[in-house]
Amino acid sequence: MRTIGIVAVLGWLTACLTAHAQTSTPALPFTSANIHLGVSSCGGSSCHGALEPWPNSTVQQNEFVTWQEKDPHAKAYKTLMSAESKRIAKNLGLNNAYEAGICLDCHADNVPEARRAKGFQITDGVGCESCHGGAVEWLGVHVSGQADHAKNVAAGLFPTEQPLARAKLCLSCHLGDKDRVISHRIMGAGHPRLAFELDTYTMTQPAHFRIDADYTKRKGMPDHIKTWAIGQAVAVDSVMEAMLDPKRNQDGIFPELVFFDCHSCHHPMSNVRWEARDGHGIGPGVPRLNDANLIMLAALLDKADPAMAQQLRARTKALHQASQKGHEATLTAARSLRELITPVINKLSAMRFESNDLRGLMSMLIERGQKGDYVDYAAAEQATMALSSVLDAMKLAKIISEPQYKDLSGALNQAYAAVEKDEAYSPKQFMTALQAFSAVMTRT
């Protein structure tokens, strides 16, 4: 889970001058009307299937090879043939996983037959068009030699470079959405827990693109802190949307268990770790909703817009409290919390992160931990990825030197160690790691 980090971050020092709020994004590749050609149509050796990056091309041209050899998405279909999948399928009463729509929707490019051209193969798993959109409509423009990125996007290429669009895309599978539902029943059958952080995962996929002068000229400089923040906000929005959707918000029990902090129920009884937390104000022995993304979002907003941060915390706490009261109260609180998210996304989209903001953001993340926000595993896991992202950003912005970065990374490794095994998680061990990191940070 260790962050590979932020490759080029200098961007937000200068970029975002043109930033504007945007909350609408094009239809996702899965649901748009576009027809999908299959990976083979992108992966030719004179297209994106070069063995090595081309020296004089704007893009790497070896994206197919990176995807095929290093990207778990290329193996997503094959996973459905594994013994683990076989067991999950059996437990769910499915004939097999590799033909079940419920599995294929996330583990392959499972568009309807009518949107599959000749050459399309479901066995390709999560291929190029699962993220970049069905290519029939934009391929002509794309290979014409006349196209630029804007023209490709106008013809139907999905704008993966935009944080908001990317967040919706990735989270549609990594958290689920109305078309791809993940429930506690699937988890109970043996599916692994889903964890996601947009900026970290974009880099660990691994990235098949390189952020260089040419990339920035074509697409603008990526803002990694903004990517992280919008990823958190969209995750909250998706969960609230699901919680308000009668088709998804209960499976016998309301609310559906998948919205909860898994570890509030699942960890060995000998690992006694409950601690009071002001953020929810709920006593021991009660399952809690998973608020890790909300905690991150509030920490970020503490500096950008303290009033908004306070409102977010108040409504989060109200949702926790409502979950103890019943169905209607929970829905009302979820609705009220969700109303805040569009303004939050607008705010973040219009924001511009300066190098000075990084230290403040780092302090805020540490301070929230010291105030007890990370006693639950899910929050500690998100906080660790966040600290790591900001640290890498500081290095690239040259706020800290190489040796200082080394020291800090060493200290942060203790936090990584504390979240490595979720079932063995100990808030005390995590707090000790956070204090050690904070001490190194203070003298840096």
Residues that bind ligand HEC (CB under 6 A): 39, 42-43, 48, 59, 63-64, 67, 72-73, 75-76, 79-80, 82, 84-85, 88-89, 92, 97, 100, 102-103, 105-107, 126-128, 130-132, 160-161, 166, 169-170, 172-174, 176, 180, 182, 184, 186-188, 190-195, 201-202, 204-205, 208-209, 215, 219, 257-258, 260, 262, 264-266, 287
CA distance 233 to 350: 14
Minimum distance from CB of 287 to ligand HEC (Å)? 4
Residue with token string 């105030």: 371
Q: Note whether 397 and 355 are within 8 A (CB).
A: yes
Q: Note whether 84 and 102 are within 8 A (CB).
A: no
CA dihedral of 109, 113, 116, 122, whole degrees rounded to 10: 40
Q: What values do phi and psi take at 251, rounded to 5?
A: -135, 75
Count the neighbouring beta carbons within 10 Å of the beta carbon of residue 337. Answer: 24
Q: Note whether 214 and 149 are within 8 A (CB).
A: no
Q: Note whether 179 and 248 are within 8 A (CB).
A: no
Minimum distance from CB of 336 to ligand HEC (Å)? 23
Beta bridge partners of 177: 180
Q: For ligand HEC, give the closer residue by CB, 186 or 400.
A: 186
Q: For ligand HEC, give the closer residue by CB, 160 or 316.
A: 160
Helix and strand totals (H; E) in the chain? 20, 0
Minimum distance from CB of 152 to ligand HEC (Å)? 10
Tokens of residue 123, six digits: 């066995």
Minimum distance from CB of 355 to ligand HEC (Å)? 23
CA distance 79 to 73: 10
Minimum distance from CB of 361 to ligand HEC (Å)? 22
Angle in degrees, 0-180, between the axes of helices 402-420 and 427-442, rounded to the nearest 10: 170
CA distance 395 to 167: 25
Q: Give the closest residue to 258 by CA, choosing from 165, 166, 372, 180.
A: 180
Q: For ligand HEC, give the closer residue by CB, 142 or 364.
A: 142
Count the neighbouring beta carbons within 10 Å of the beta carbon of residue 427. Answer: 20
Q: For ligand HEC, give the closer residue by CB, 127 or 427.
A: 127
Q: What values do phi and psi take at 179, rounded to 5?
A: -90, -15
Q: For ligand HEC, give the closer residue by CB, 160 or 409.
A: 160
Minimum distance from CB of 41 to ligand HEC (Å)? 10
Q: For ligand HEC, give the closer residue by CB, 72 or 410.
A: 72
CA distance 88 to 81: 11
Angle in degrees, 0-180, between the axes of helices 163-174 and 224-243, rounded to the nearest 10: 50
Q: Note whether 131 and 207 are within 8 A (CB).
A: no
Minimum distance from CB of 363 to ligand HEC (Å)? 28
Minimum distance from CB of 339 to ligand HEC (Å)? 25
Angle in degrees, 0-180, between the axes of helices 327-350 and 292-304, rounded to the nearest 10: 40
Q: Note whether 105 and 177 are within 8 A (CB).
A: no
Q: For ligand HEC, give the closer residue by CB, 170 or 309.
A: 170
Minimum distance from CB of 322 to ligand HEC (Å)? 16
Minimum distance from CB of 378 to ligand HEC (Å)? 9
